[in-house]
Structure 1
Amino acid sequence: MELSLAHPAIKAFMCGSVSGTCSTLLFQPLDLVKTRLQTLQSNMQPGSGRVGMVTVLRNVVQTERLLGLWKGVSPSFVRTIPGVGLYFSTYFSLKQHYFQEKSPGPMEAVLLGGGARTVAGIFMLPVTVIKTRFECGRYSYGSVTGALRSVCQTEGPAALFSGMMPTLLRDVPFSGIYVMFYSQTKASLPKEISTSGYAPLANFSCGILAGVLASLITQPADVVKTQVQVNPQLRAAEAIRYIYMEHGLQGFFRGAVPRSLRRTMMAAMAWTVYEQMMAHMGLKS
């Protein structure tokens, strides 16, 4: 079947998959650094000094070489290509069904983004768990399939859905807040900018602003999610208590800089590429 004859939701899926692939490849090192920062044990810290993003980055390059920064890119691709595609196709379908005649308002945009992320998040959670374990450096998995087999044999299939609540509490608000800020900021732009050759740059700038705000608001849930997935014996409430006892309130913002950079840049690029591809296909995103 030719792409031009495909259903609009399939086109949205393909546009989302392409945009997710590009952004994942570029920003995987930031995700790895974020995960390492969040899973550092107190006895790994030199003295009482603070281990920061640059220290972790240098340590990874020294011990695992430059390509070590892309550790976990394989499960990231397995998650991102269908995951981002599923997110955008769900988003497109919901928007077409409920808002074909009008643009969604702020709260409607939150529901659109959150609804699309809920579908994609639950569906792709097992791969997210494996990706987090690949990146943290505690497990020596050789491949995605090998990791899946190992987890199922030693911990049971339920371990593949560990951290579901903190994952949804992180991703659903992030997506809802992001879509709200992104759509409202974009709608406030002069029409001559949004329809000119500067449209991609304008979309990217709106995405940067929306991503920074959404990332900071949802950072604590991301730290809890990482702890639960790396330490499957912990429940969310236990992980919260552990983080607070070990690192205090600032522990809930560990990895905020690399995560904000990565999520902001990834979301901004994904939405920019997605909107340009949809426009090229003659579809309103």
Structure 2
Amino acid sequence: MAGKSKNHIYAGFTSGLVSAVVLQPFDLLKTRVQQSNGKSMVQVIKSLNTPLDLWRGTLPSALRMSVGSAMYFTCLNTVREAVAGGRRLTVGDRSTSSLPKLTNTENLISGGLVRGTVGLLVMPITVIKVRYESSTYHYKSIVDAATSIYKHNGMRGFFYGWAATFARDAPYAGLYMLFYEQLKVALPSILFSDITTSSHSEKYYSSWSSAMINSVAAATSAGIATTCTNPFDTVKTRMQLAPKEYPNFLTSVKTIIQHEGIQALFRGLALRICRKACQAGISWCIYEDLVKRFERMNLPGPQL
């Protein structure tokens, strides 16, 4: 079990790190569009000094995503293994994944609980990231951001927006896992017309087929889950950027709707869908491929 855990830690860390660095521009633009100044994406882009400004906040993003993904994937697999018990693929089944197979309800609950919990654990990094990415604050460095937050708000400043974060992350992950696992079963016959008539002597589909199926399933599932949970993301961002104006979840929702209309809760949705869909496609594809490779090689994973 220890060896398997290392596999998931390494695969999760790598997938999170790669997706964070590649997709940081989407995250920065999304944060600034969700600010209360009402700027459009075009206006935000024009306000940047250089293209490199799109990667402002990459360090906390990479730290949050790599560590968070390692924790999430490892804990998720542990929970899914415990829930699945001894269930395995039946004879003749083929899969794109070596992960445990659960029912729809089990996928929904396990994904939501694990993601919500991990989101709270990495909350301090998230707050620093959001503050550093925004144009509201002008921190000189990550250390300056952390020091300023602690000086003005104390330790609780690192947990502003925790309720909105949990309300966003838990439903998002639950819905994501539900659709992701269903799509991985449905997509093979849709994407590859001859895949169901090929030999079933192999336990898994080829690496290329698996990557295609997992990426499409991940991106589609992320798009659906993101749309459903975007209002919580907008509220979370406002609470972390202006805690005095948006002191708690319910007050924040009321303030946003009163002053900007209900459509403001979906501000930044297009950017978030692009980022989440790409992030899911990249991270889950890398994660599942690495886990399968370790299993095929019968290796305990890199030494930590």
TM-score computed with the length of structure 2 as normaliser: 0.84
Q: Counterparts of 1:130 and 1:73 in 2: how far apart (Å)? A: 11
Verify the 8 A CA contact 2:17 2:63 in the aligned structure 1: no
Q: Could you tell me which residue of structure 1 aligns to residue 43 of structure 2?
A: 55
What do the CA deviations read for 1:176-227 (whole angstroms, capped 9, x no partner)? 1111100111022448476123110111011111011000000000000000
Q: Could you tell me which residue of structure 2 aligns to residue 246 of structure 1?
A: 259
What do the CA deviations read for 1:64-97 (whole angstroms, capped 9, x no partner)? 2111001111111121111111000001111111
Q: Could you tell me which residue of structure 2 aligns to residue 220 of structure 1?
A: 231
- Structure 2 residue identity aligned to 1:224: V
Q: Could you tell me which residue of structure 1 aligns to residue 270 of structure 2?
A: 257
Q: Could you tell me which residue of structure 1 aligns to residue 21 of structure 2?
A: 25
Which residue among 126, 135, 138 is the counterpart of 1:137? 135
For structure 2, which runs of at least 5 residues remain unmatched after alignment? 88-100, 190-194, 197-203, 299-304
What do the CA deviations read for 1:75-132 (whole angstroms, capped 9, x no partner)? 1112111111100000111111111433211111011211221221111001101111
Q: Counterparts of 1:96 and 1:69 in 2: how far apart (Å)? A: 39
Q: Percent identity?
A: 30
After TM superposition, the structure 1 = structure 2 runs for residues 134-213 of structure 1, keeping only pairs within 5 Å, are 134-190=132-188, 192=195, 195-196=205-206, 197-213=208-224
After TM superposition, the structure 1 = structure 2 runs for residues 72-83 of structure 1, keeping only pairs within 5 Å, are 72-83=57-68
Q: Counterparts of 1:53 and 1:99 in 2: how far apart (Å)? A: 44
Structure 1 residue 17: Cα displacement: 0.7
Structure 1 residue 153: Cα displacement: 1.6
Verify the 8 A CA contact 2:26 2:274 in the aligned structure 1: yes
- Structure 2 residue identity aligned to 1:166: A
Higher alpha-carbon Rg:
2
Q: Could you tell me which residue of structure 2 aligns to residue 45 of structure 1?
A: none
- Structure 2 residue identity aligned to 1:208: A
- Structure 1 residue identity aligned to 2:248: R
What do the CA deviations read for 1:222-253 (whole angstroms, capped 9, x no partner)? 00000001012221122112211221011010
For structure 1, which runs of at least 5 residues remain unmatched after alignment? 43-50
SS in 1 for 2:69: helix
Which residue among 99, 104, 107 is the counterpart of 2:84? 99
TM-score computed with the length of structure 1 as normaliser: 0.89
Verify the 8 A CA contact 2:24 2:55 in the aligned structure 1: yes
What do the CA deviations read for 1:20-49 (whole angstroms, capped 9, x no partner)? 11111111111111111110425xxxxxxx
Q: Could you tell me which residue of structure 1 aligns to residue 35 of structure 2?
A: 39
Q: Counterparts of 2:164 and 2:18 in 1: how far apart (Å)? A: 26
Q: Counterparts of 2:73 and 2:181 in 1: how far apart (Å)? A: 14
Q: 1:188 to 1:101 in 2, by over 3 A?
A: farther
Q: Counterparts of 2:130 and 2:249 in 1: how far apart (Å)? A: 16
SS in 2 for 1:39: coil
Q: Counterparts of 1:260 and 1:189 in 2: how far apart (Å)? A: 21
Where do 4+ consecutive residues of structure 1 move more than 3 Å?
189-194
Structure 1 residue 59: Cα displacement: 2.5
- Structure 2 residue identity aligned to 1:253: F
Moved more, 141-150 or 197-206: 141-150
Q: Could you tell me which residue of structure 2 aligns to residue 237 of structure 1?
A: 250
Structure 1 residue 6: Cα displacement: 5.5
Q: Counterparts of 2:52 and 2:2 in 1: how far apart (Å)? A: 38
Verify the 8 A CA contact 2:16 2:65 in the aligned structure 1: yes
Q: Counterparts of 2:125 and 2:10 in 1: how far apart (Å)? A: 20
- Structure 1 residue identity aligned to 2:47: N
